[in-house]
Structure formats: structure tokens, C-alpha cells
């Protein structure tokens, strides 16, 4: 009985103490409405910044005039996950306070993790520490990346517009473009960046009115030097001459599965006797996304032209690769089949093994034009996306004129 009384007194004491404690309200964290500056930490401790703003549905990433909507956002306690709508990339972090998030940009299939800090209320991409611009780089620039290493060397064309310290533009290469770049020229120091959910690019350079000497970084896994000189008449090689059918092959064909497991080839009855457009691409590729957006609209309005996409995916499993394909098709409302040509790697040499009739797979994307009789009439390497301005307009006009010609034969 005494033991029971002791237990009762002990329980009553605990109850009184607990009732006497003041309840503390747990702070509810959220992405505050407004502008956030995200700084990815890349090699040599450099910052690769971009800006996003909140919307009623999620966030909007800003790169020059480009706006990328991202709506798949989860906030639980102090954790936040921002999953890209199309690409595999994820921004995953924790609030250190209501105005700051620290975490990583993650691409699981490639085992890539890039640290970042996001700060609310900041709208400036790059801080000006060098004063007024000492040059104006508006115009065209003949560019060479990795100029001293022959095996890595490649050419590009820089296209820039500068207003005061602000610079926008892109680099075009023989395989595509580096998307919408935005940044500043402070003193003689150029800084440009872009983030599209798949790639994070940073370009830094020392410039004069006629030269650039700089470095390109992609995430925290790649960097290379580049040099450039002003050249208003410079043009890249013709994209129609870079990829071709090898001698000994009379036709282009393939047989790859769609998401239902059905193998599709160019000899299928539904494709025979039609003008066919074959798109070599990957769901991870921003230039391919731009191209797919355009092709989707064209295909819906020109149903007699048959499109087929061949996806080369770095996703580690077939199931994940098809999940990425389905997500892209749904996001862009793509009306034509996307076949899985390869998973586990997007290596171009491996891709060429899948398509041995090509001299090489030089670029994602690459487009193959096939006439009604099954003859390859043109292969276009790369894609001039919206960031290239006039080149994008010219590509669309040339594409539509050529397909119309094939249709009328």
C-alpha cells in the first residue's frame, strides 16, 4: 500500500511539473514570397549563382529572358525538396533560418552532388566589386574551348548583348548551345551563369574590346579554359555536313522498344511511305527539350509527317529511363513515340554502336530526315535553341521548308 502511495505521489509530481511548462510554438517554415538567390559552390570555391522567384504554384527560375516553372516542391519541418519538372535534378536542403536554405543540387544517376546556399530577398546574380565595365562585348566572338589540348578542343561562337554592366547571350557550338546565359562585366571581369534544372554552367573571363581569356565550369565536375576574339563575320561549320550515312549502308533503320515493350522500326506499316523525322535525343538534355517542344507543336499540326525519337538515357535502370521518358512526354504533351535506344550511359560512342550506319553520333540532339521512299535526305547535327535568337528562327524556317519539299515529292 505504501508503495502504491509513493507511485501516486511521484506521478502527481510529474503531472504538475509538465503542466507548469510553457508550450513553445514551432515555427512554420515556407518559401517566402519574392526573390531568392541560389549560389552553387563549384570548383576553386567559386559561386555559380541563379535567381528564382516564388509563384502561386511553385517557383520560377530566371535566366535572362527565360523562365522555367517548377511546381514539384515539398516542405516538411525544416526540409525542402525542389524537384525539376522534366529533368532528374533535385535541389534538396534545410532551412537554417526563415531566410536561408543550405543543401545540395543532386543528380542521382550520375552520382553528382553540388552544395548550394539559397538566400531570400537577394536579386543580384553577381556582386559588382570591379566598377564600371571597361569594354563592351556586344557582338560575335570566335571561340575555342580547351585550345591547348587537341583531343578536347572544340570551336564555338559567342553571341552577346551588353547594356551597362549587364550581359546576356550564349555560346553556340557545332552540337548545340549553352542556353540562356546572364551575368555582368565588372571592370574587365566577365561572369555569366545559367541553371536549367539539368545543367549548371559558369563562364568567367578577363576581357578587352577584342579578346577574352577565361574558364568554363559545368557543375563541380568539369572545367576547361577558353579563348575568344571578336569576329563579326565568324560562322560555325554547316550543321548539315557533320553527320552522314557511312559507305556500305543503303538505309537508316533501327528497332527499339516503346514504354509498352513493343519494338518499333522504320519499316512498320504505320510509317511506310511517309516522310519520317528521327530525333536522336535524351530526356536529360536541355537542347533536346527545346527541340522536342518545337517538334511537338509541328507534329500536331502536320500529322502526315511521322516523328520518332530515340532516347539515349544515363538512368541506371530501364524502369527509371522509361519513367523519365514518360515524364517528358507528359510535360510537353509529345504526340509521337519516344523509344528507349540505350540506358545506363549517354556516351556518344556507345550510341554510335547502336546506330552503326552513322559515321558518328556527334550531338544530342541530331535529326535525320527520311523521304517517302526511305532514303535519308539530310542529317542535321545539334539544334539552335531559342537562346540563339535569329539562328533559332532561321532553323525553324529551313526545317519547315525542307519537310514541305519532301512532302510534295
Question: How confident is the model over 26-51, as a mean pLDDT?
Answer: 91
Q: Are 54 and 37 in contact (CB under 8 A)?
A: no
pLDDT tens track for 144-175: 999 999 989 999 999 999 999 999 999 999 99
How far apart are alpha carbons 27 and 98 in whole angstroms?
9
pLDDT category, 13, cuts 50, 70, 90?
Answer: very low
Which pLDDT score, from 0 to 100, does residue 26 have? 53
| Ordered domains of the chain (ranges, CATH) | 35-120 (2.40.128), 139-230 (2.40.128.120), 256-407 (3.40.30.10)
Question: How confident is the model over 263-279, as a mean pLDDT?
Answer: 92
Model confidence at 3: pLDDT above 70? no
Cα atoms found within 13 Å of the Cα of residue 10, Cβ hemisphere only = 6
Q: Which three cell numbers stand for residue 5?
A: 502511495
Which pLDDT score, from 0 to 100, does residue 1 have? 44
Which pLDDT score, from 0 to 100, does residue 382 have? 96
376 phi/psi in degrees, rounded to 5: -75, 120
Q: Within a 10 A sphere around the Cβ of 255, how many other Cβ atoms? A: 12
Q: Are 322 and 316 in contact (CB under 8 A)?
A: no
DSSP per-residue string spanning 186-197: ETTEEEEEEE-S
Model confidence at 363: pLDDT above 80? yes
Which pLDDT score, from 0 to 100, does residue 130 have? 80
Which pLDDT score, from 0 to 100, does residue 27 have? 59
CA distances from 289 to 86, 295, 329, 387 (A): 9, 10, 10, 13
pLDDT category, 182, cuts 50, 70, 90?
Answer: very high
From its phi and psi, is residue 61 left (phi > 0), alpha (psi between -120 and 50) or beta?
beta
Q: Are 365 and 281 in contact (CB under 8 A)?
A: yes
pLDDT category, 276, cuts 50, 70, 90?
Answer: very high
Q: Which three cell numbers stand for residue 111?
A: 552520382
Q: Are 316 and 109 in contact (CB under 8 A)?
A: yes
Which pLDDT score, from 0 to 100, does residue 9 have? 42
pLDDT category, 128, cuts 50, 70, 90?
Answer: confident
pLDDT tens track for 279-315: 999 999 999 999 999 999 999 999 999 999 999 999 9
pLDDT category, 51, cuts 50, 70, 90?
Answer: very high
pLDDT tens track for 215-261: 999 999 999 999 999 999 999 999 999 999 999 998 899 999 999 99
From its phi and psi, is residue 289 left (phi > 0), alpha (psi between -120 and 50) or beta?
alpha
Cα atoms found within 13 Å of the Cα of residue 178, Cβ hemisphere only = 25
> Which strands form 112-120's sheet, in the order they lie side by side?
66-70, 59-63, 47-54, 35-41, 112-120, 100-107, 90-97, 79-83, 72-76
Specify the pTM: 0.89
Count, in order, helices (H) and strands (E) of the chain: 5, 24
Q: Within a 10 A sphere around the Cβ of 292, how many other Cβ atoms? A: 27
Amino acid at each position: 500500500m505504501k508503495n502504491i502511495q509513493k507511485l501516486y505521489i511521484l506521478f502527481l509530481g510529474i503531472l504538475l511539473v509538465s503542466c507548469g511548462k510553457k508550450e513553445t510554438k514551432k515555427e512554420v517554415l515556407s518559401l517566402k514570397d519574392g526573390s531568392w538567390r541560389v549560389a552553387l559552390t563549384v570548383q576553386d570555391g567559386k559561386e555559380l549563382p541563379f535567381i528564382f522567384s516564388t509563384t502561386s504554384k511553385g517557383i520560377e527560375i530566371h535566366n535572362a529572358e527565360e523562365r522555367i516553372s517548377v511546381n514539384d516542391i515539398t516542405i516538411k519541418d525544416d526540409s525542402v525538396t525542389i524537384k525539376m519538372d522534366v529533368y532528374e535534378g533535385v535541389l534538396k536542403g534545410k532551412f537554417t533560418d526563415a531566410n536561408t536554405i543550405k543543401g545540395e543540387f543532386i543528380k542521382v544517376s550520375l552520382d553528382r552532388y553540388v552544395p548550394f546556399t539559397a538566400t531570400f530577398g537577394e536579386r543580384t546574380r553577381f556582386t559588382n566589386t570591379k566598377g564600371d565595365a571597361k569594354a563592351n562585348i556586344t557582338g560575335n566572338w570566335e571561340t575555342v574551348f580547351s585550345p591547348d589540348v587537341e583531343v578536347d578542343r572544340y570551336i564555338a561562337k559567342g553571341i552577346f548583348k551588353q547594356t551597362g554592366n549587364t550581359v546576356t547571350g550564349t555560346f553556340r557550338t557545332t552540337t548545340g548551345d549553352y542556353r540562356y546565359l546572364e551575368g555582368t562585366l565588372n571592370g574587365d571581369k566577365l561572369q555569366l551563369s545559367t541553371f536549367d534544372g539539368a545543367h549548371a554552367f559558369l563562364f568567367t573571363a578577363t576581357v578587352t574590346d577584342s579578346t577574352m581569356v577565361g574558364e568554363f565550369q559545368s557543375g563541380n565536375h568539369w572545367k576547361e579554359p577558353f579563348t575568344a576574339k571578336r569576329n563579326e563575320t565568324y560562322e560555325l561549320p554547316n550543321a548539315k555536313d557533320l553527320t552522314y550515312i557511312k559507305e556500305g549502308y543503303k538505309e537508316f533503320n533501327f528497332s527499339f522498344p516503346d514504354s509498352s515493350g513493343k519494338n518499333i522500326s522504320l519499316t512498320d506499316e504505320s510509317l511506310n511511305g511517309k516522310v519520317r523525322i528521327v530525333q536522336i535525343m535524351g530526356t536529360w538534355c536541355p537542347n533536346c527539350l527545346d527541340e522536342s517542344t518545337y517538334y511537338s507543336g509541328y507534329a500536331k499540326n502536320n500529322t502526315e509527317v511521322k516523328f520518332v525519337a530515340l532516347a539515349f538515357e544515363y538512368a541506371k535502370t530501364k524502369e527509371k529511363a522509361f519513367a523519365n521518358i514518360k515524364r517528358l512526354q507528359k510535360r510537353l504533351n509529345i504526340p509521337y513515340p519516344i523509344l528507349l535506344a540505350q540506358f545506363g550511359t549517354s556516351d556518344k560512342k556507345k550510341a554510335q554502336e547502336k546506330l552503326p550506319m552513322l559515321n558518328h553520333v556527334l550531338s544530342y540532339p541530331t535529326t535525320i530526315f527520311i523521304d517517302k521512299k526511305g532514303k535519308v535526305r539530310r542529317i542535321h547535327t545539334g539544334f539552335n535553341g531559342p537562346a540563339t535568337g535569329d539562328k533559332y528562327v532561321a532553323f525553324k524556317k529551313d526545317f519547315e521548308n525542307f519537310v514541305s519539299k519532301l512532302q510534295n515529292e
